[in-house]
Structure 1
Amino acid sequence: MGLTFTVLLIAAAGLLCLGVVIGIALSRRERRAATSAADLAGLAGTDTAVPVLAALRSTVVVLDDDDEVLRASASAYTFNIVRDDAVVEPTVVAMVSRVR
């Protein structure tokens, strides 16, 4: 084995380690972002559905039997779907009525 082979082997091992470190860092970052999004969206609580809803990357609105908002993600407020604990987007109101 020559010097070139040894250098290539060390470089490959270094790149492999770098890839593992980057993968771990990205994984932790995504987990932290999901947790922060749940806190910002007001989805923290003891409900068993809360972790599932917080993990979704879409807009989430949970309504009670009287169509009052129990939980809503930050994007639901940003997109003006929810305001003052009520769904205000006419299309969403129509969908909820149809489903009920």
Structure 2
Amino acid sequence: MNIIVKYLATIGLALIGKLVPSLKSFLVNFIKSDVGTLAKDAVAYAETLTGATGVEKRDAAVAKLKEDLASAGHDVSEFSASLLNMLIESALQAVVLKLS
């Protein structure tokens, strides 16, 4: 069993190593898009909320993103909750990795 775990771990690490450049490229391109810029701005807004929990910051970022998307002319009804969360998480990762 230990050999299988080591084998799977080796494969997993190899895949992650190959995916990192692709992920970085995706995040850079995403953050430059209009939706990515709005998501980054929503993350920046949420970070100003002192004393808020991580969940509260995420919820504030999603609310801000929805507001900004509507202001920019996007149909917010086309964005599911999971998609909005993915956009916020992608923007957060780009900010954390200082890709913007």
When the two structures are superposed, what TM-score results if normalisation uses the length of structure 2?
0.30
Bigger fraction of residues in helix: 2
Higher relative contact order (CA 8 A, sep 6+): 2
| TM-score, length basis structure 1 | 0.30
